[in-house]
Amino acid sequence: MRPGLCAAVLAALAALPARAEQVGEVGVDWIGNDIIIEAVPDPKVKGVTCHVAYFDRGLLDRLGKGNWFEDPSNASVSCRQTGPIELGDIDRDENGEDVFRTSRSLVFKSLRVKRIYDERNRTLIYLAHAAELTDGSAKLSISTVPLYGSD
C-alpha cells in the first residue's frame, strides 16, 4: 500500500466511532432477556472510558411478542477518567460528535453515545440516546468528565 493511501486509510479509521468491548452480561428473567454492559474507550480523548448498559431481548421474548428485529431504546452511560487525559482533535461545537453507535433494530433505530465539549466549564459531556428515523426518543442518559489541568 502506498504511504499516502495508508495515511488516508488510518485517518478514516480514526474518524469512526469507537468499538465497544462487552465486559458484563446480567440475566434479568428466565426467558433470556439480558442487560449487556460494554466498555467504550473514547477514540479521540485518551484516558476516558465510557461504560454503556442496554437491554438485549432474548429469543423467547422475540417469539412471544413479535417485533423480531428491534430492541428497546433504553440505555445508560457512565464515563470516567481511566488514565491521563489527552484531548485529540475533537469536535468543539454544541452538536458534538458520535463516540459510539450500535444498531437497535434492523434498519431504523440506533443507540448512540455523543461527546459534547463544554469549554467554559472544561468538562466533557457524554450523552446516550436513541436515534430513530421516524420518531425521536426521550430516553437518554448523561455522564460528565471534568478536565482538571488537562488540555
- Per-domain residue ranges of the chain: 3-146
Which amino acid is present at 44? Answer: K
- List, for residues 5-36, the tens digit of each pLDDT value: 333 333 333 444 567 899 999 988 888 788 88
Contact between 102 and 50 (Cβ < 8 Å): no
The shares of helix, strand and coil residues in the chain, as percent rounded to the nearest 5, are 15, 50, 35
What are the grid coordinates assigned to 59, written together? 429469543
Strand pairing class (123-132; 97-103):
unpaired
State residue 136's pLDDT score.
Answer: 62
- List, for residues 72-119, the tens digit of each pLDDT value: 667 889 999 999 999 999 999 999 999 987 765 555 667 889 999 999
